[in-house]
Structure formats: structure tokens, C-alpha cells
């Protein structure tokens, strides 16, 4: 009897194991939901509302990961959509969920044996809420931790200190915006945790239909307490510098695993052409651009960027300057060369399907002048200035920030970190520069390169007792910037022509202040971010 009992227990254990390992690939209907089973040896089963397109349950290896109060969905939820589901055969076997509204078609695809939800979103118009995003709302009890930036966007238990998106938590400032990564650096972002150390990760192989270019950054993740959230922001008004693009956004992925952090570099979505996805352009329908980028110093990164109203692409040139673009949709593109992030050249190139076009590009940024001194570098970043090492992941009011001043920088003796990365009208206005000249130089130019302006702020220079002309207001970007960890705007460069006789032999002083017709409190007062400041003669 004991032997039979043991045998029965062994059989039941085997059957239980087999049922969990050998899950059946397919889908069923349960009430108003489609239930999709990926059929993998790491079982992934999720439910999609047949009326709204919301994912309302995600079970990975039997563990529920979906936050119960709000679904995983596009934007803030479609509300209603025409939802269909089908099995599709091709390179692999697939299940494709298609959600259609008057201006949007959203796809969710499962490949047999793969615990990944492949996603793509086709739009003919921007959603009325003004943001196109995919957001997975997950359980913090199972997925409390964030990758790659840890707790910087964990707002759980915090007190709002700016709007409804910047919080103070245990004496540190946190915001979902502080999870952002430049598009050009984007690889993977995840929530993870639980006894099995489950990882749920978003990967975006390319952002050709998003807007903002290679250096744009947007929200990736946050633990908000009630739910932990993973995002793929495709279009948003967060420091928006160009028009939204329509067309197909994706494919992008939400992958489930227990094997650690994946990498987008290992992702293959070439089979997406099997699925009949609206707007998808296969490799055979694309072309490339190759060439040489020149004139960018070896201490900078040479970035080549292509864009038009339909798509955007980028690559980093090699140390010798050679480059090859990603596969691009056919069309005519503006081609830009950056010195790290500072624009130094622009041209035009036409891409044809199945062809490689050769197009070289050379920097046109002139340094053929006599530099008296320079603070920073023309790299399109505030690198090295005070608090530039912190602001991406914390609010400028954070106690970990160094004092904003007002500061005085003395040429020849001050450290670069003695110069502020930004001037706020109500906080550290103005910044003072002191320097000594061996002789009076005559006429000179003060060049102030800035990166991002808020509330119409631009630099007003006073040289000794002479006040420079007030520059006109820059193009308005209707979004908070530095307080959200953003710095990438239009990149204005202001040249102040200093008449002969103003600069003198010996001691000189320049002040640079934030000029604006607007006002504001503290770090929401008009401000601009520095790139480089240089004094030179012809």
C-alpha cells in the first residue's frame, strides 16, 4: 500500500510538472476576455478585454503580475475598441491580438514558446490626450524594484513637491521622469522582484516613428506604490522639440523571465513581416546610408542623425569617422552631424529601397579665432558644471545638490564645477565671471551656448560697466525642463559683440543673468542651461 501511494504521488507530481512546463500554445475565450497562452516552458498566460483592449491579467509561471485596479494598455486606455484574435503561421506560429479604433491600431503578438509580448502601435493621428505611450501597470508586491536606475523614480510613500510628478521620499527627491534614458542609449528597462526574481522588461529595438531625435529622453518606469509601471513612451509633450510622427511605432517588447536582464541587442524581430501589420516595412523595402563624418574632435562622440516627417534614425561614427545607418524607410532626409550633442553640420540625403547611398558629412562649426578663455565645451551637454552630475536623477532642490549660488567663477583658478549648469531667475541670478587680461584686446565676442530654455529665459550679459543688447526670446518649449531631469532643447547660441574699449588690461568682470518677461518661484522661475561660454577675438 505504501509503495502504491508513493507511486501515485510520483505520478501526480510528474503530471503537475508536465502541465506547468508543457503549456498549450493557443487562446481561449473566457467571458469578455481573450486568454492567450504562449506555450513556453516558462509559462506566460495573459487576458485581454475583448471590448477595451486592456490587458487585465498577466500570469508568469503561475504568479499574477497585473495590478487589479487598472489595466495594461495604450495611453490611459482606449476605452473601447474593436478587438480580434487569430492564430497566424509563418516563420513561427503566432497569436495576434488586433485592437482597432478610428485613428489607432494596436497589436499584441505572442510567438510560440516565447514568454514575450511583442507590441506595435499604428496611428493616423495623435491620441486626444496628447501622449502616445504603452504602460504596463504591475503589482509592486511581486515587482518592487527598478532597473537600471534603482530608486530614483520610486515615489511610494512620498509627498508631492512639484505638480503631481515630483516627490520627496525619505529626504530625497524622486520622479518617474528621473528614470529616463537617451534614445541613443536605450537598451532595456525592467521591474523585478519576488521569490523567483521575476524580471519584466521593456525593449525598444528602434524609435523610428517617435519624435525628438537621438538625445530625447522620456519616462521608462516607476514604483508608484499602488502599482509599479513600465512604459514605452512613443510621443509626448515632455520637452517636445518637433512634431509628432504618425505611422507604425514598433515593434517593441515586454519580456518575462527569471534569467536576469536581457538586452535589446539580442532581439530579432525580422519575422514581424509574417503578421500583416499595418505600416510595417521589411528589411527588403529599406535602404542605408554610409559615409565618413569629419571635423569632430577625438574627445567628442560623432553622432549622425537622419530625420523627416515620417521617421528618424541615428548612429555613432567609428573613431575613423566611418558610419553606416540603420535600415531606413525610403525618402529624403535631413542629415545632421553632432559633436556629442552639439550640432555642427546639416545636409540632405535620399534613401532608396534595397540600395546603399554614400553621403559624407563634415563639421562646419568654426573655431578659427583667438580664444581668450573658454568655460566648458561645445558638446550640447552641461557636463562638468555644478550639479550636472546629479540633475538627471534628482530635483534641483534636493539636499544632495551642491549650492546653486549665485556663484563667481574666476578664470584660471576656479574649477569647472564652480560654474552653475543653469541660471534660475529667482535662485542664483546672475553668475559672475572674473578674469585678467594681459592687454586690452579691442573688440571681442562673448559666445554663450545654451541647451534648454524655460519660460522664455535667455542670457543677458554685462561686461564691466557695459550692458550687452537684450537678446530676443527663444522658441518656446511648453514644458518643464531641468526640474524633470531634462536638458535637451533647441540649443540656442548667443554671440554678444563687445565694442573696443570695454575690455581692459588687468581685471575684468562679466555677469550673465536670466532675462525673461516671466516670473516664477525658485526652480520654476525662468531659467536656461549652459553648454559653453567663450570669450574670443577675431
Q: How far apart are CA 373 and CA 387, in angstroms?
A: 22
pLDDT at 130: 80
Q: How far apart are CA 468 and CA 86, in angstroms?
A: 68
Contact between 508 and 464 under an 8 Å Cβ cutoff? The reply is yes
Q: How far apart are CA 221 and CA 199, in angstroms?
A: 13
Contact between 407 and 432 under an 8 Å Cβ cutoff? The reply is yes
Task: Identify the three-state secondary structure at position 271.
Answer: helix
Task: Identify the three-state secondary structure at position 219.
Answer: coil
Question: What's the whole-number mean pLDDT along residues 78-97?
Answer: 96
Q: How far apart are CA 60 and CA 58, in angstroms?
A: 7
> Other C-beta atoms within 10 Å of 511: how many?
18
Q: What is the mean pLDDT of the chain?
A: 94
Q: What is the DSSP letter of 173?
A: E
| Residues above pLDDT 70, as percent of the chain | 96
pLDDT in tens, 142-200: 999 999 999 999 999 999 999 999 999 999 999 999 999 999 999 999 999 978 899 99
pLDDT at 15: 37
Q: Looking at the predicted structure, is the pLDDT value of residue 20 above 90?
A: no
Contact between 502 and 486 under an 8 Å Cβ cutoff? The reply is no
Q: How far is CA 436 from the centre of its chain?
A: 42
Q: In what order do the strands lie in the sheet with 166-169?
A: 159-162, 166-169, 172-175
The torsion region of residue 380 among left (phi > 0), alpha (psi -120 to 50) and beta comes to left
pLDDT in tens, 301-341: 999 999 999 999 999 999 999 999 999 999 999 999 999 99
pLDDT in tens, 485-525: 999 999 999 999 999 999 999 999 999 999 999 999 999 99
Residue 269's nearest CA partner among 116, 104, 134, 42 is 116
Contact between 452 and 391 under an 8 Å Cβ cutoff? The reply is no
Q: How far apart are CA 146 and CA 190, in angstroms?
A: 6
Question: In this structure, what are the phi and psi dihedrals at residue 72, rounded to the nearest 5 degrees?
Answer: -90, 130
Q: How far apart are CA 131 and CA 468, in angstroms?
A: 41
pLDDT in tens, 8-18: 434 334 334 43
Q: How far apart are CA 526 and CA 523, in angstroms?
A: 8
**C-alpha grid cell, residue 105:** 491600431
Q: How far apart are CA 409 and CA 386, in angstroms?
A: 11
Question: What's the whole-number mean pLDDT along residues 473-482?
Answer: 95
Question: In this structure, what are the phi and psi dihedrals at residue 4, rounded to the nearest 5 degrees?
Answer: -65, -40
Contact between 219 and 177 under an 8 Å Cβ cutoff? The reply is yes
**C-alpha grid cell, residue 153:** 523614480
Task: Identify the three-state secondary structure at position 239.
Answer: coil
pLDDT in tens, 251-304: 999 999 998 899 999 999 999 999 999 999 999 999 999 999 999 999 999 999
Q: How far apart are CA 361 and CA 345, in angstroms?
A: 7
pLDDT at 194: 78
> Other C-beta atoms within 10 Å of 283: how many?
10
In the chain, what are the domains?
Answer: 25-275 (2.70.98.10), 283-362 (2.60.40.1120), 370-537 (2.60.120.260)
Question: What's the whole-number mean pLDDT along residues 400-408?
Answer: 98
Contact between 289 and 324 under an 8 Å Cβ cutoff? The reply is yes
Q: How far apart are CA 406 and CA 180, in angstroms?
A: 29
HSE-CB of 287 using CA atoms within 13 angstroms: 18
Contact between 207 and 312 under an 8 Å Cβ cutoff? The reply is yes
pLDDT in tens, 420-451: 999 999 999 999 999 999 999 999 999 999 99
Per-residue buried b or exposed e for 152-186, using 16+ beta carbons within 10 Å of the residue's own CB: bbbbbebeeebeebbbbeeebbbbbbbbbbbbbeb
**C-alpha grid cell, residue 416:** 569647472
Return the sign of the alpha-carbon dihedral for residues 180, 183, 186, 189: positive
Q: How far is CA 508 from the centre of its chain?
A: 42
Amino acid at each position: 500500500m505504501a509503495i502504491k501511494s508513493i507511486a501515485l504521488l510520483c505520478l501526480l507530481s510528474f503530471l503537475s510538472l508536465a502541465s506547468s512546463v508543457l503549456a498549450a500554445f493557443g487562446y481561449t475565450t473566457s467571458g469578455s476576455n481573450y486568454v492567450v497562452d504562449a506555450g513556453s516552458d516558462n509559462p506566460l498566460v495573459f487576458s485581454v478585454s475583448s471590448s477595451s483592449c486592456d490587458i487585465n491579467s498577466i500570469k508568469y509561471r503561475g504568479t499574477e503580475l497585473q495590478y487589479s485596479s487598472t489595466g495594461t494598455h495604450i495611453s490611459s486606455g482606449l476605452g473601447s475598441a474593436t478587438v480580434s484574435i487569430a492564430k497566424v503561421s509563418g516563420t513561427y506560429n503566432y497569436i495576434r491580438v488586433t485592437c482597432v479604433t478610428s485613428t489607432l491600431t494596436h497589436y499584441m503578438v505572442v510567438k510560440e514558446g516565447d514568454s514575450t509580448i511583442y507590441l506595435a502601435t499604428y496611428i493616423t493621428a495623435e491620441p486626444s490626450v496628447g501622449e502616445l505611450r504603452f504602460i504596463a501597470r504591475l503589482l509592486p508586491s511581486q515587482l518592487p524594484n527598478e532597473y537600471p536606475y534603482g530608486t530614483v523614480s520610486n515615489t511610494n510613500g512620498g509627498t508631492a513637491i512639484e505638480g503631481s510628478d515630483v516627490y520627496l521620499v525619505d529626504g530625497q527627491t524622486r520622479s518617474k521622469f528621473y528614470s529616463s534614458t537617451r534614445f541613443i542609449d536605450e537598451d532595456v528597462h525592467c521591474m523585478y522582484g519576488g521569490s523567483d526574481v521575476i524580471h519584466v522588461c521593456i525593449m525598444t529595438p528602434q524609435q523610428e516613428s517617435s519624435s525628438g531625435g537621438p538625445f530625447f529622453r522620456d519616462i521608462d518606469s516607476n514604483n508608484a506604490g499602488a502599482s509599479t509601471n513600465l512604459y514605452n513612451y512613443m510621443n509626448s509633450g515632455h520637452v517636445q522639440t518637433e512634431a509628432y510622427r504618425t505611422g507604425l511605432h514598433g515593434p517593441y517588447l515586454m519580456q518575462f523571465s527569471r534569467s536576469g536582464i536581457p538586452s535589446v541587442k539580442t532581439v530579432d524581430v525580422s519575422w514581424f513581416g509574417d503578421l500583416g501589420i499595418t505600416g510595417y516595412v521589411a528589411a527588403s523595402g529599406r535602404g542605408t546610408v554610409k559615409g565618413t563624418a569629419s571635423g569632430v574632435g577625438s574627445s567628442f562622440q560623432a553622432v549622425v542623425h537622419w530625420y523627416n516627417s515620417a521617421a528618424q534614425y541615428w548612429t555613432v561614427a567609428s573613431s575613423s569617422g566611418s558610419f553606416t545607418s540603420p535600415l531606413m524607410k525610403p525618402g529624403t532626409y535631413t542629415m545632421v552631424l553632432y559633436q556629442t550633442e552639439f550640432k555642427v553640420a546639416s545636409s540632405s540625403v535620399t534613401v532608396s529601397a534595397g540600395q546603399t547611398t554614400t553621403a559624407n558629412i563634415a563639421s562646419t562649426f568654426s573655431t578659427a579665432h583667438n580664444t581668450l578663455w573658454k568655460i566648458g565645451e561645445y558638446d550640447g551637454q552641461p557636463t562638468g558644471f555644478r550639479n550636472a552630475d546629479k540633475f538627471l536623477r534628482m530635483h534641483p532642490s534636493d539636499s544632495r545638490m551642491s549650492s546653486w549660488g549665485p556663484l563667481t567663477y574666476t578664470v584660471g583658478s576656479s574649477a569647472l564645477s564652480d560654474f552653475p549648469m543653469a541660471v534660475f531667475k529667482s535662485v542664483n541670478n546672475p553668475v559672475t565671471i572674473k578674469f585678467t587680461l594681459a592687454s586690452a584686446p579691442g573688440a571681442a565676442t562673448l559666445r554663450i551656448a545654451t541647451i534648454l530654455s524655460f519660460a522664455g529665459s535667455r542670457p543677458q550679459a554685462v561686461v564691466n560697466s557695459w550692458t550687452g543688447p537684450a537678446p530676443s526670446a527663444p522658441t518656446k518649449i511648453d514644458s518643464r525642463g531641468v526640474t524633470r531631469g531634462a536638458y535637451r532643447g533647441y540649443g540656442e547660441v548667443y554671440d554678444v559683440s563687445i565694442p573696443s574699449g570695454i575690455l581692459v588690461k588687468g581685471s575684468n568682470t562679466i555677469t550673465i543673468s536670466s532675462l525673461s518677461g516671466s516670473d516664477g518661484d525658485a526652480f520654476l522661475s525662468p531659467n536656461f542651461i549652459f553648454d559653453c561660454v567663450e570669450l574670443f577675438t577675431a
